[in-house]
Structure 1
Amino acid sequence: MIGVNAGSLRILVATDAWKPQVNGVVRTMTTVIDGLRARGHEVEVLGPDRFRSVPCPTYPEIRLAVWPGPGFDRMARAFRPQALHIVTEGPIGWAAWRWARKQGMPFTTSYHTRFPEYVQARAKIGLGLSYAVLRRFHNAAEATLVATESLREDLAARGFTRLKPWTRGVDLARFSPEPRRDWKTELGVQGPVFVHVGRIAVEKNIEAFLSLDLPGSKVVVGDGPQRAALQHRFPEAFFTGRLSEGALAAAYAGGDVFVFPSLTDTFGLVLLESLACGTPVAAYDVTGPRDILAGTGGRVGTVGADLRAACLAALNADRGACRAHAERFTWEACTEMFEKALSPVSAL
């Protein structure tokens, strides 16, 4: 065995979520991998782009690797990793899991997505079976990295073991309070503007936000399989489609409140991005928002069982405090926690 700080490592990352997908998992891993490489590590990523793949049913933007086992074995052996991290529980994740078990190589995993709840929302499959499968997957790891304390407590109660904290960060240069998009002039409204940013899919519960009786206007930034249906049902809401770089930051900054209606996310990077832009958050009191806003006393937003009440309360938040709170979350700390959690060995 060698220590992580003893020198550079060859780190193999296995993930079913990778570019060109746009989501929190991909943003987290690309940023952490850049940080690891800057620290001198050699990182090899085996994602869907390295295998034959097909579109995911009901979500064609996501590609699923087809029978990745043989290719994974070949590429992993060629790379000769000293550490293995498995990001997701999809076809590539399971191929990496089986390969590591066969080789007798320790590995780490991370819990990014409440997969059982997603499956239940889409296919009405009970939580018990899904969690049993995930326990088998993650409990074989030397450590499973989790983003928040409330998620750690929930998974521990469900029988998950060796859970380690792994925070997230935000790019404070990219996401800033200025410039702000002038939504009120653009939309021709006088009241507050409530903004949501993210993938437009059923598990994100965006319908709960759009159904609220709120003053002013609602803006939805992003794209996804549920966009057309929601646009048809809520014609009064403004849908921008996907934005990038400065346009996205300005969209956050131009909102009076950022509304996060998800009940199943494990963290919510968009919460930090909004706060970095000075825009307060309204969300349900669930894992992610509960942890990020803990101890802020309503100064940067509100969480609660009543999303409408949280939205109205968040109008009274302090935009300067929002930015200051976001500055506590750095990608450097995120990368360091990931690095220290690895379970390296001498090369195979």
Structure 2
Amino acid sequence: MNRFLIATDAWQPQVNGVVRTLSSLCDQLRDRGAEVRVVSPLDFRTVACPTYPEIRLALASADRLGQIIDEFQPTAIHIATEGPVGLAARRAALRSGRRFTTSFHTRFPEYLRKRAPIPESLTYGFLRRFHAPASACLVPTESMRRKLVDLGFRNLVTWTRGVDRRQFHPAEPIALNLPGPIFLTVSRIAPEKNIEAFLDLDLPGSKLVVGDGPMLPELMRRYPHVHFAGAQTGEALARYYASADVFVFPSKTDTFGIVLIEALACGVPVAAYPEPGPIDVIAGSNAGRISTDLREACLAALSLQRSDALERSKAYSWEACADVFLQTSLEAQAEPALRLAS
């Protein structure tokens, strides 16, 4: 039996794309008979993240991670994030000479620049060093892989994302009683998501925002004519997607954006900027429109067919995501030697 240890700073009860990806991956691995041990902030004492208290930072140590690794004896180690848990797992793996893979989920340099005047080159230098000793670094899209190659990253493998079609599919719209057309975004309500770029657009009909986060009270005050539905999950979330005419993805810091394919799976065309994620999912299809002018993309997406959006979503599955992970993780174990790095 294969045994996978996944070290991550992002885990339940957080709700974001990283958690959704790792949760779905764990389900797939267990369905295939593997044993999975997730090491997360739940295994340690935590403190609130500065400027973002909803996120808890683990007081993790390499000694404790080493103990967990020795007890579990994994076939493969995957380090999913570059936070305290990821750093401790990396240190423990290097100490013991164990091979490991990593993944690149978040464009932290762009994220941090939204919150503080930290040069992107400095943060990318840290990330490049973090991922350097990994046998492989899994990245969500081909466009993101090319960007990281240009920044000096190596051993990159494109790792797809998926959608749960049992939950996300064309559904009965919610009776919102809003003037149409309805433009929807689903997002964490935080500075790095660039939601104001959507809310500031001059669009016909109504704007609808689903999600929660630190900026929600402020945006509700500033945009009284926008309908804020708060956080939604399960069938309710699928019905909110189905209620929209266009799904708007204003983020410029995501590496993929799982909400993109959730919207497509519900039959909703997408409007987005030409960034990693939208470029890979939407470009060259009739499932959405991409433009540096987000308003132009929104209006153009109104004329698209919902059937084309639904068809495009079929290119993505959690089964394929797990296939890439398994192949990459097991191939890493066959390498002749671990490249040592501090």
Q: Considering the TM-score relative to the shorter chain, is it more than 0.5?
A: yes
Report the counterpart of residue 38 of structure 1 in structure 2.
Answer: 31
Deviation at 1:71, TM superposition (A): 2.1
Secondary structure of 1:72's match?
Answer: helix
Aligned equivalents of 1:338 and 1:61: distance in 2? Answer: 29
The answer as to whether partners of 2:283 and 2:289 remain within 8 angstroms in 1 is no
One-letter code of the match for 1:291? D
Please tell me whether residue 205 in structure 1 is matched to residue 198 in structure 2. no
Please tell me whether residue 79 in structure 1 is matched to residue 79 in structure 2. no
Aligned equivalents of 2:93 and 2:334: distance in 1? Answer: 12
Report the counterpart of residue 131 of structure 1 in structure 2.
Answer: 124
Secondary structure of 2:262's match?
Answer: helix
* Runs of 4+ more than 6 Å apart: none
Deviation at 1:208, TM superposition (A): 0.4
One-letter code of the match for 2:192? E
Report the counterpart of residue 5 of structure 1 in structure 2.
Answer: none
Report the counterpart of residue 212 of structure 2 in structure 1.
Answer: 223
- Residue 302 (structure 1) aligned to one of 279, 289, 292: 289
Report the counterpart of residue 282 of structure 1 in structure 2.
Answer: 271
- Residue 172 (structure 2) aligned to one of 159, 162, 179: 179
Say which structure, 1 or 2, has more relative contact order (CA 8 Å, 6+ apart).
1
Deviation at 1:345, TM superposition (A): 6.8
Deviation at 1:319, TM superposition (A): 0.1
Q: Equivalent residues in 2 for 1:109-128 (5 A)?
A: 109-128=102-121
The answer as to whether partners of 1:58 and 1:225 remain within 8 angstroms in 2 is no
1:238-293 residue CA offsets vs partner (Å, 9 max, x unmatched): 11110110000000010010000000100000000000001110000111001101
Secondary structure of 1:286's match?
Answer: coil
1:202-255 residue CA offsets vs partner (Å, 9 max, x unmatched): 000001000001111101000001111111111110111101100000000100
Deviation at 1:163, TM superposition (A): 0.4
Cα 1:166–1:234 shift into 2, 3 Å: same
Aligned equivalents of 2:46 and 2:65: distance in 1? Answer: 13
Aligned equivalents of 1:72 and 1:105: distance in 2? Answer: 13
Please tell me whether residue 99 in structure 1 is matched to residue 92 in structure 2. yes
Q: How many residues align?
A: 333
Aligned equivalents of 2:231 and 2:248: distance in 1? Answer: 17
Deviation at 1:67, TM superposition (A): 3.8
Unmatched 5+ stretches in structure 2:
336-342
Report the counterpart of residue 317 of structure 2 in structure 1.
Answer: 330
The answer as to whether partners of 2:66 and 2:93 remain within 8 angstroms in 1 is no
Report the counterpart of residue 253 of structure 1 in structure 2.
Answer: 242
- Residue 239 (structure 1) aligned to one of 212, 218, 228: 228
The answer as to whether partners of 1:51 and 1:71 remain within 8 angstroms in 2 is no
Aligned equivalents of 2:194 and 2:206: distance in 1? Answer: 18
Aligned equivalents of 1:51 and 1:344: distance in 2? Answer: 28
1:86-124 residue CA offsets vs partner (Å, 9 max, x unmatched): 000000000011011111111000000001111111111
- Residue 196 (structure 1) aligned to one of 161, 180, 185: 185
The answer as to whether partners of 1:51 and 1:68 remain within 8 angstroms in 2 is no
Q: TM-score when scaled to structure 2?
A: 0.95
Secondary structure of 2:38's match?
Answer: strand
Deviation at 1:73, TM superposition (A): 2.0
Report the counterpart of residue 25 of structure 1 in structure 2.
Answer: 18
Aligned equivalents of 1:180 and 1:274: distance in 2? Answer: 13
Aligned equivalents of 2:73 and 2:60: distance in 1? Answer: 21
Aligned equivalents of 1:71 and 1:62: distance in 2? Answer: 21
Identity %: 53
Report the counterpart of residue 53 of structure 2 in structure 1.
Answer: 60
Aligned equivalents of 2:182 and 2:228: distance in 1? Answer: 13
The answer as to whether partners of 1:13 and 1:86 remain within 8 angstroms in 2 is yes
One-letter code of the match for 1:214? L
Aligned equivalents of 2:230 and 2:149: distance in 1? Answer: 38
One-letter code of the match for 1:160? F
Q: TM-score when scaled to structure 1?
A: 0.94
Over the residues paired in the alignment, what is the CA RMSD in angstroms? 1.2
Aligned equivalents of 2:61 and 2:112: distance in 1? Answer: 22
Secondary structure of 2:271's match?
Answer: strand
The answer as to whether partners of 2:190 and 2:213 remain within 8 angstroms in 1 is yes
Aligned equivalents of 2:175 and 2:261: distance in 1? Answer: 21
One-letter code of the match for 1:275? L
